[in-house]
Amino acid sequence: MSTRVNCGVYTIVRDKQVPHNMGVRDEPVRVWVVDDTASFRLATAATLAATENFVMAGECEAGESAIELLRDGDAGIVLMDIHMPGMGGIEATRRIRAAYPELMVLLMSTYDVEDLPAEAADCGAAGYLHKEHLSPDVLTRLWQVAK
């Protein structure tokens, strides 16, 4: 069951805490962006640059690349597009969370929450965020709530 949280963020998995050990005030939150659309990655980089205490840790355009590049769990948040060529975001999220359970993975797309694939609810993602709602305020709130 989906529950709407502030600013268009949906919780898609109930009763599962996503532990993480990085604080907004302690050190910058490292964010990876996994999306096959270069313009979205660029827009996200600009959003992160405008967000206090958040930095772009890296980017890639495919789920397979994310799994390979996220060795050592070098992130606090992974913004994961759902639909990409090759391995999609849901399967990549499953694998990343299995390897690095402390990472917060947010699924992202342009779909309404009721149109999400059923598998999105059990892949280990902390939630779903519509791409249009990505903003400095939303990122900060998400991180603070997850602490």
Residue where the block lists tokens 């009721």: 114
Pairing status of strand 3-5 against strand 9-11: antiparallel
SS3 42: helix
What fold does the segment set 3-146 form as a domain? Rossmann fold (3.40.50)
Tokens found for residue 2: 């989906």
Q: What does pTM read for this prediction?
A: 0.83
Read off the pLDDT of residues 61-111 as tens digits, 9 standing for 90 and up.
999 999 988 877 678 999 999 999 999 999 999 999 999 998 999 999 998
Tell me which amino acid residue 65 is: S
Distance CA 26, CA 13 (A): 27
Query: Helix, strand or coil for residue 123?
Result: coil
Closest to 30 (Cα-Cα) out of 131, 98, 100? 100
Backbone φ, ψ for residue 13 (5° rounding): -130, 120
Q: 5: burial class by Cβ within 10 Å (0-12, 13-18, 19+)?
A: middle
Which alpha helices (DSSP H) does 13-135 contain, by range? 38-49, 63-69, 89-99
Q: What percent of the chain has pLDDT over 70?
A: 81
Average pLDDT, the chain: 84
Q: What is the pLDDT of residue 36?
A: 96
If you average pLDDT over residues 104-126, what whole number do you get? 91
- Which is higher by pLDDT, 67 or 10? 67
